[in-house]
Amino acid sequence: MALSLTPGQRADITEAGPLLHEVDPKAFIADKAYDADPLIDKLEEREITPVIPSKINRRNPPKTSFLLYKSRNIIERFFARLKQFRGIATRYEKLKSTCLAAVQLVSAISGIK
């Protein structure tokens, strides 16, 4: 698993590329916000299966394995557990390094994998 913190006004898709260099997944499961040709091309180049539902405005939507997409709830539950800790939910720690350390600590304590 790899984590990265971004400013609130930055789109999450900007961190997808750099995080892919830290892990070697078989599939990339994400929501519609990650449906962008440059990202999908990068995934296919590395032979990673993109499991991303298409945006409604896509002309030729690729097929998506919704059987794999169902496992995305694991990621959603990860963030739901993290948000149970007030210091993380409100971003009490203002420094990026200490906030990331708090997230890693809570993940380790909670047994989140």
Q: Which tokens is 104 given?
A: 């890693």
For residue 7, is it within any domain? no
28: β partners: 50
For residue 78, is it within any domain? yes
| C-alpha distances out from residue 64 to 26, 32, 57, 60, Å | 15, 11, 16, 12
Q: Which amino acid would we find at residue 106?
A: V
For residue 32, is it within any domain? yes
For residue 91, is it within any domain? yes
What is the model's pLDDT at position 43? 92
For residue 3, is it within any domain? no
For residue 4, is it within any domain? no
For residue 28, is it within any domain? yes
How many structural domains is the chain composed of? Answer: 1
**pLDDT 10s digits, 83-113:** 888 888 777 778 888 888 888 888 888 776 5
Contact 49/28 with Cβ under 8 angstroms? yes
**pLDDT 10s digits, 28-86:** 998 888 998 999 999 999 999 999 998 888 888 888 888 888 888 888 888 888 888 88
pTM reported for the whole predicted model: 0.75
For residue 53, is it within any domain? yes
CA distance 93 to 87: 7
**Residue 102 belongs to domain spanning:** 12-110
